Structure 1
Amino acid sequence: MSARRPMLIVALAVASFALAGCSAPDQTSDADRPQIVVTTNILGDVVGEIVGDEAEVITLMRANADPHSFEISAQEAALLGDADLIVSNGLGLEEGLQQHLDRAADAGAPQLVAGDAVEALPYASGDAAGTPDPHFWTDPGTMLDVVDAVEQAASDIDGVDAARLAEHAAGYRSELETLDAEMTEAFAAIPQGHRALVTNHHVFGYLADRYDFRVVGAAIPGGTTLAAPSAADLQELSDAITEAGVPTIFAESSQPDRLVQVLASEADIDVNVEELFTESLTAPGEGAETYLEMMRANTARISEGLTK
């Protein structure tokens, strides 16, 4: 029995050494890798798919949050100054975060504003008419431009393998092209008279432009969820919905649908209210954990809602 104990001790020592050898890279990998800080969780998911293991991606916006109004802690704000790259949406979306982004820019932090990489569309109506619409992610074709911009910006970071980055980016472009084809096919089945969208606020301009929808209106008149509709706004939109004859109007998952329910009641029409994932990804298991999952869920709900 005593002869076996030294062998057991040696075996345990070897196993412990092996485990320590396996865990050591994990303990230092995040410290060694470049750090990319992303404002919104939609962009955070996309950036993560593009860079893979080439960088640590930190997303500031929580699941189910409102990108117009979410705020960050002092500790999170400090991450911006230390980042190898900051990726933001831009075009006025991150209203509660802009001061921190401006401060980081003044300090010389490298930044990529995704909205600067796309052909921005103006809001077509409402209080924000004529100003740039920041909701470009509702068009997967426009997101291809974002992939190009992220790949270029990330390739300039020291320590990033450009070849591996290019491989990840090419794979994600293929995913976006497949998504675009799926959405085109699904929306083609919607009758032309029903190809109209009403939501809490103006968010589907890019989707409408790409897939031939009409944006009838929004319960919140401006481009931001921080605005509030007046009685006249609701009445005007009610009249437009009645005239358009849409079978379904849509509420955003990041906000209560009370306004849309009130609108349905005010219009005095038989209209369904369907929830969409529009400005935020969800927590795991809630239906929109990734950008691709979010877009597929919305496509199915819009198609079903407007073909009733």
Structure 2
Amino acid sequence: MHGSAPRPQTLRLSAATLALAALVPLAACAGADDEPSIVVTTNILGDVVENLVGDDAEVTVLMKPNADPHSFGISAKEAGAMESADLIIGNGLGLEEGLSTNLDNARSEGVPVLAVGEHIDAIDYATGGSAGTPDPHFWTDPARMVDAVDTITSALGEEVGADLAEAIEPSADSYRDRLIALDSEIEAIAEGIPAGDRKLVTNHHVFGYFAERFDFEVIGAVLPSGTTLASPSAADLEQLARTVEEAGVATIFADSSQPQRLAQALSDEVDLDVDVTPLFSESLTEAEGEAGTYIDMQTANAARIAEGLAPNTITETGKREQ
């Protein structure tokens, strides 16, 4: 009898051990199911990131369709998502003017923040109130967006983990190829516009990278600044009107996400038949819209620019993309 007494205790210990062992794989599975949380400030970069990570990470895009990246705000829930994210991806170079406090709060919580614009070959504004400061609108150059993809994929590997970097490698390669094809397509459209007609007047200074890449000249902007939050004076509008007249510009391009009143006012000042054409310069549209993705946005803009500046010489590529 004395020899058999310990058996119940031994059995109880074995049961507890088995129960504990059963919990370990469950916990491991729960951890494996947790997706990395990535917050992206603008919808343009949001589309790029979503193309890269697919279902391998949870992506929250803060900027809504047709919004203005210079002035959009976020909800308290979205601010909380920033402070608990594994990585925040932003444009940088002063673009997200309304998010500076939220980004600082996230950094104070130890969240890594990638400002993509600080890792590409940025150019400075040449004229206007922003002259001499970095231009944040690098997405108007598809070649620089290839550099942006490289920057983002590197940050995902360093800040989120090597497993994610390995998982998205095929999609990153595929998206780079699509951007290279986009660059060639826009180049073909631009070549259909006579060199003397490649003169841009826009709502504000947003197409500097596009002009540099595809050999255009930006001769002026309704808002003499790199931000939509600036205001022109009557003298600014008068001076730009005379510049447009002298250059014989056929079309003024306005931001699709901004009221076109000022661009129309400039058009009315010019003693020429000048059209006002909206471009998707700062924001994507809803998914079903004409600029629902970054690539769609770029091809639509190139076709509108070609049609506006040289309607009789637009390339066949541009016609197909209208």
Q: Same fold (TM over 0.5)?
A: yes
For residue 279 of structure 2, what is the aligned residue in structure 1?
Answer: 276
SS in 2 for 1:57: strand
Which amino acid in the other structure matches residue 144 of structure 1?
Answer: V
Could you give the per-residue CA deviations for residues 2-32 of structure 1, whole angstroms, max 9, x where no partner exists?
xxxxxxxxxxxxxxxxxxxxxxxxxx89971
> In 1, Cα distance between the equivalents of 2:300 and 2:107?
36
TM-score calculated relative to the size of structure 1: 0.89
1:1-308 equivalences under 5 Å are: 32-156=34-158, 157-158=160-161, 160-308=163-311
> In 2, Cα distance between the equivalents of 1:281 and 1:29?
35
Could you give the per-residue CA deviations for residues 55-78 of structure 1, whole angstroms, max 9, x where no partner exists?
111000000000000011111111
Could you give the per-residue CA deviations for residues 96-135 of structure 1, whole angstroms, max 9, x where no partner exists?
1111111211221011111111111101110000100000
| Alpha-carbon contact 1:42-1:291 (below 8 Å) kept | yes
Which amino acid in the other structure matches residue 80 of structure 1?
Answer: M
> In 1, Cα distance between the equivalents of 2:110 and 2:87?
11
> In 1, Cα distance between the equivalents of 2:33 and 2:86?
12
Percent identity of paired positions between Structure 1 and Structure 2: 56
Which amino acid in the other structure matches residue 148 of structure 2?
Answer: V
> In 2, Cα distance between the equivalents of 1:66 and 1:231?
24
Which segment drifts farther, 158-167 or 44-53? Answer: 158-167
For residue 14 of structure 1, what is the aligned residue in structure 2?
Answer: none
Instruction: Give the CA RMSD over aligned residues.
Output: 1.5
Could you give the per-residue CA deviations for residues 135-188 of structure 1, whole angstroms, max 9, x where no partner exists?
000000001111001101112314743322111111100000000000000100
SS in 2 for 1:250: strand
Which amino acid in the other structure matches residue 131 of structure 1?
Answer: T
| Alpha-carbon contact 1:51-1:154 (below 8 Å) kept | no
| Alpha-carbon contact 2:66-2:284 (below 8 Å) kept | yes
TM-superposed CA distance for 1:286, in Å, is: 2.2
TM-superposed CA distance for 1:279, in Å, is: 0.4
SS in 1 for 2:285: coil
Which amino acid in the other structure matches residue 97 of structure 2?
Answer: E
The structure-2 alpha-carbon separation of the partners of 1:206 and 1:29, relative to structure 1 and needing over 3 Å to count, comes to: farther
| Alpha-carbon contact 2:291-2:297 (below 8 Å) kept | yes
Which amino acid in the other structure matches residue 283 of structure 2?
Answer: S
TM-score calculated relative to the size of structure 2: 0.85
Could you give the per-residue CA deviations for residues 30-83 of structure 1, whole angstroms, max 9, x where no partner exists?
971101000000000001111122211100000000000001111111111100
SS in 2 for 1:132: coil
| Alpha-carbon contact 1:30-1:56 (below 8 Å) kept | no
Which of structure 1's runs of 4+ aligned residues deviate more than 6 A? 28-31
| Alpha-carbon contact 2:208-2:218 (below 8 Å) kept | yes
Aligned residue-pair number? 281
Could you give the per-residue CA deviations for residues 183-235 of structure 1, whole angstroms, max 9, x where no partner exists?
00010010111101111100000000000000011000111101110000001
> In 1, Cα distance between the equivalents of 2:119 and 2:227?
21
